[in-house]
Amino acid sequence: MPFFVYHCPDCGAEIELLRPASQRDEPVRCEACGSERATRSAASFASALGSGSGGGRSSGSSCGGGGGGFT
Ligand SMILES: [Zn+2]
């Protein structure tokens, strides 16, 4: 289940929710001020893509291993 970040326009709070992608645009209630106008933040895109792309099996090792003996 992807992770989404919502922003409350009334008090500026950020609400982090774990919910199905099909419900990502559903209204969210702000816990801080009770407003129901919180909207999905653009930051949630980065989180969703980062956690969902690839298994990360060799991304780290390939980067570190190529650094030595390059000269
Ligand atoms: Zn709020």
For residue 17, tell me if it sits in a domain: yes
For residue 61, tell me if it sits in a domain: no
> Which band of pLDDT confidence, cut at 50, 70 and 90, is reported for residue 15?
very high
For residue 44, tell me if it sits in a domain: yes
Q: How far is the CA of 9 from the centre of ligand 1 (A)?
A: 7
Report how far residue 38's alpha carbon sits from residue 29's, in angstroms, rounded to the nearest whole number.
6
For residue 58, tell me if it sits in a domain: no
For residue 63, tell me if it sits in a domain: no
Which residue would you say has higher pLDDT here, 2 or 35?
35
12: left (phi over 0), alpha (psi -120 to 50) or beta: left
Listed residues: CB within 5 A of ion ligand 1: 8, 10-11, 13, 30, 32-33, 35
CATH number at residue 15: 2.20.28
pLDDT digit string, tens, across residues 23-60: 988 889 999 999 999 999 875 454 445 454 445 555 55
pLDDT of residue 53: 47
Report how far residue 31's alpha carbon sits from residue 13's, in angstroms, rounded to the nearest whole number.
9
For residue 57, tell me if it sits in a domain: no
Q: What is the mean pLDDT of residues 8-29?
A: 91
For residue 40, tell me if it sits in a domain: yes
What torsion, rounded to 10 degrees, do the Cα atoms 43, 46, 51, 57 define?
-150
Q: How far is the CA of 16 from the centre of ligand 1 (A)?
A: 13
**What secondary structure letter does DSSP report for 21?**
G
pLDDT of residue 56: 52
Check: pTM over 0.85? Answer yes or no.
Answer: no
Domain that holds residue 24: 3-52
Q: What is the mean pLDDT of residues 5-33?
A: 92
Domains in the chain: how many in total? 1
